[in-house]
Amino acid sequence: MNRTHGVGADDRPVVLADEQARAWSPAQARARFRTGLTGPTAGVAAGRTQANLICVPADWAYETLLFCQRNPQACPVLDVTDAGSATTVLAEGADLRTDLPRYRVWQHGELVDEPTDVRAYWRDDLVSFLIGCSFTFEWALAAAGVPLRHVEQGRNVPMYVTNRRCRPAGRLRGPLVVSLRPVPPEHLAAAIRESSLFPAVHGGPVHCGDPSVLGIADLGRPDHGDPVDAAPDDIPVFWACGVTLQAAVTASRPPFALTHAPGQMFLTDARDEQYRVA
């Protein structure tokens, strides 16, 4: 069944990152998503690695891989599937067509649907890329005392399209997308240090401070996700974001693509600490 909602639908029947959801195993989380549970996944199945998803036709796969190789901070590759395969070594028994909270369907760069199951759209020539997600290092930030405003407030992390251009790869091009976490000044050094130990999942920030340097005019109006309430002295800290590939889809207009909905990630069986380098 293709459990679909209108494009731009904003349905969050539960706050996923409650204590119960934090205690789920990745398999339990995927089973719930498979039956239609939706919402931001920050904090869900705590300690397990989350990933962005993009599926492209095989004749776009090399350019997608090259784009990721040329823009590794925004698009760190965790796995690439064979054409037509809906499985990944990152999660035993998982189905990439059904096991995310919400997907996006793209045709010629236009968003045409946001279903919770993409079996009806699946094609035998699709190659899937699992891309690192900054949710993976949030446990390390929290352990170092860095507050996570979006988790505290039960919101999706805010994401912004910037004025920085990614290095193109063949037909694929587009701007850098960043995620925002407001950080108190006394925790800034810890936020930079801890996230930098996770280079396979975006690593350290790309910018701290004035958002206008990135071409962001209003932090209260993110391009994806939700605005968060910052404390008066919080410093805006921006990390490269895997939604960069969705911006590339919009800019490059491939005939077809499937992605995750921003903030609603794929839960892998891998442990977050596996991606920490020290």
pLDDT score of 13: 38
| Model pLDDT for residues 93-113, shown as the tens digit of each residue | 999 999 999 999 999 999 999
| Model pLDDT for residues 188-205, shown as the tens digit of each residue | 999 999 999 999 999 999
Instruction: Reply yes or no on domain 136-240 having CATH 3.20.20.150.
Output: no
Statement: the pTM of the whole predicted model exceeds 0.85:
yes
**The listed CATH number (3.90.1300.10, 3.30.70.920, 3.40.1640.10, 2.70.70.10) that belongs to domain 19-134+253-272:** 3.40.1640.10
Question: What pLDDT band is residue 272 in, cutting at 50, 70 and 90?
Answer: very high
- Residue 14 confidence (pLDDT) above 70: no
User: Where along the chain do its domains lie?
Assistant: 19-134+253-272, 136-240
Q: In what order do the strands lie in the sheet with 159-165?
A: 159-165, 175-183, 235-240, 207-208
